[in-house]
Amino acid sequence: MLKKGLKPIVLLTFINILGFALLYFTPSPCAYNTRFLYIGAILCAINIVVYCILNYGKLGDVYLFLLVTILVTIGVVMILRLDYKNPANPESGGENQILFYIGGLLIFFMTYIVTRFLKNLDKLVWLYVFLIVGLFLFTLIVGKRINGATNWIKIGPITLQPSEFIKILYILSLSCFMNNEYDELHYLHGKFLGIEKRDVAITAFTYMCIGFFVLQGELGTAVLFLMIHFTVVFMLRPSWRNILINLIIVAAAVFALVILVKMGKFSHIQNRITGWLNPYDDPFNAGYDMVRSLSAIASGGYFGVGLWEGLSVNIAAIKSDFIFAAICEELGIFAGVAIIMIYFLFAYRGVKIAITTKNDFYKTLAILTTVMFAYQTFIIVGGVIKLIPLTGITLPFVSAGGSSLLSSYISMGILVAISSMDKRRI
């Protein structure tokens, strides 16, 4: 009989072995490729070591790591398979993702240490704001324009997406604004037009960030920020006057955006909306990716067409934006539902951590980190299945991309560190 603490990692290792064995043994021109075994062995070894450190070191909620690792395994398996869109000239996405995974775990432990033992995180609000504004300005000045958005910074062979790290600084800033105490002489004490001044500051700060994203042409992350902001407005600091003012601001902003799009600005956004509303009217241009995505999901059925048998490889951003469609096509809709359920379980653990945490700052930080994951998942999955217009947001822990994976592990480090705090008085 296995000890209780070993059962989860044994099950996880079995899932890893099964995933990479499917890659290795499934009949295809790429079968019996030892590259799959090497990468699978590295992933299994890392998972076992990290699990033992978290579990036996009693460092916090180990189930978050287990859930995330299942997502990472699915992502790496699919990325490896998609590396062979052209079997004669395979790409190196799988190796890159493993390197990002190792870097993400290192940053995870660094974030854990900082969050767990640095006691003044709630006093650094202006540092967070300064870093956010600095990253925005730096991106606008030296950023590289890709797919209509200036949201990438290229440093030698490394390409980073600053918005992935800005969103973490953003939730840290909100947590500080909401939980710091302001005396009668402080400029954020009292009310302005019947609304708490701190709420006015939060609203102004949020729309400043959204304005920067609009300047970059990065509306996907702008929508994510808006959803997080309304979580604060509705759930954490409810005020009907504040809610009404925010709704008016959003309505005016949407109207202005529609006018700009009609004037020819943000053409990539217009193409995405056109491809969302009527993808079959232009199936070879604006609607191409959406048509291929819907066809892939439909053709997969409940159990998928099997690894190496899918045709969704022709989608341009198949490893990032549309990887969920590739999973549904080759592994089936049941696999897609299972992934969504894993995100539900992740959100449940995050909410549980927030509820059991005594410190208000960490409670707010935990809930905002959790809803950030939940909203990001909804936005990208909703875009792939044509529920909402598609944005450039990635599927956390699954999609290919270094910035996304690193920022996701920073967020998980925050949650795991907070989960360990109920063992001491804070």
Helix residue ranges, H only, 61-143:
62-82, 93-117, 125-142
Residue 341 has pLDDT above 90, yes or no: yes
Mean pLDDT for the stretch of residues 259-273 = 71
Backbone angles phi, psi at 239, to 5 degrees: -155, 115
More confident: 74 or 422: 74
Confidence of residue 193 (pLDDT cuts 50, 70, 90): low
Burial of 385 (0-12, 13-18, 19+ CB in 10 A): middle
Pull the structure tokens for residue 344: 């539900």
In this structure, how many other beta carbons lie within 10 angstroms of the beta carbon of residue 159?
14
Residue 186 has what pLDDT? 55
Residue 422 has what pLDDT? 66
* Percentage with pLDDT > 90 across the chain: 42
Residue 415 has pLDDT above 50, yes or no: yes
Residue 3 has pLDDT above 80, yes or no: no
Residue 73 has what pLDDT? 94
Residue 246 has what pLDDT? 86
Count CA atoms closer than 13 A to 54's CA, side-chain side.
Answer: 26
Residue 339 near residue 73, CB atoms below 8 Å: no
Tell me the pLDDT tens digit for each residue of 348-398.
999 999 999 988 899 999 999 999 999 999 999 998 998 888 777 889 999
* Percentage with pLDDT > 70 across the chain: 91
- Out of 6-10, 77-81, 154-158, 393-397, pick the least confident: 154-158
Residue 189 has pLDDT above 80, yes or no: no
Residue 354 near residue 366, CB atoms below 8 Å: yes
Count CA atoms closer than 13 A to 419's CA, side-chain side.
Answer: 26
Pull the structure tokens for residue 402: 């270094």
Which three-class secondary structure state does DSSP give residue 42?
helix
Residue 181 has what pLDDT? 67
Residue 424 has what pLDDT? 45
Confidence of residue 215 (pLDDT cuts 50, 70, 90): confident
Residue 120 has what pLDDT? 86
More confident: 321 or 362: 362
Tell me the pLDDT tens digit for each residue of 30-82.
888 899 999 999 999 999 999 999 988 889 999 999 999 999 999 999 999 99
Pull the structure tokens for residue 420: 């360990």
Pull the structure tokens for residue 292: 């291929």
With residue 297 as reference, give the H or E element that holds it: helix 288-300
Residue 147 has pLDDT above 80, yes or no: no
How many Å separate Cα 19 from the centre of its chain?
23
More confident: 223 or 314: 223
Mean pLDDT for the stretch of residues 178-183 = 69
Mean pLDDT for the stretch of residues 303-316 = 85
Distance in angstroms (rounded) separating the CA atoms of residues 346 and 72: 13
DSSP 308-365: T--SGGGSTTTTTTTHHHHHHHHH-HHHHHHHHHHHHHHHHHHHHHHHH--SHHHHHH
- Out of 24-28, 79-83, 125-129, 188-192, pick the least confident: 188-192
Distance in angstroms (rounded) separating the CA atoms of residues 331 and 413: 30
Residue 185 has pLDDT above 50, yes or no: no
Residue 280 has pLDDT above 50, yes or no: yes
More confident: 159 or 302: 302
Residue 423 has what pLDDT? 54
Tokens 């870093």 correspond to what residue? 131
Distance in angstroms (rounded) separating the CA atoms of residues 140 and 283: 33
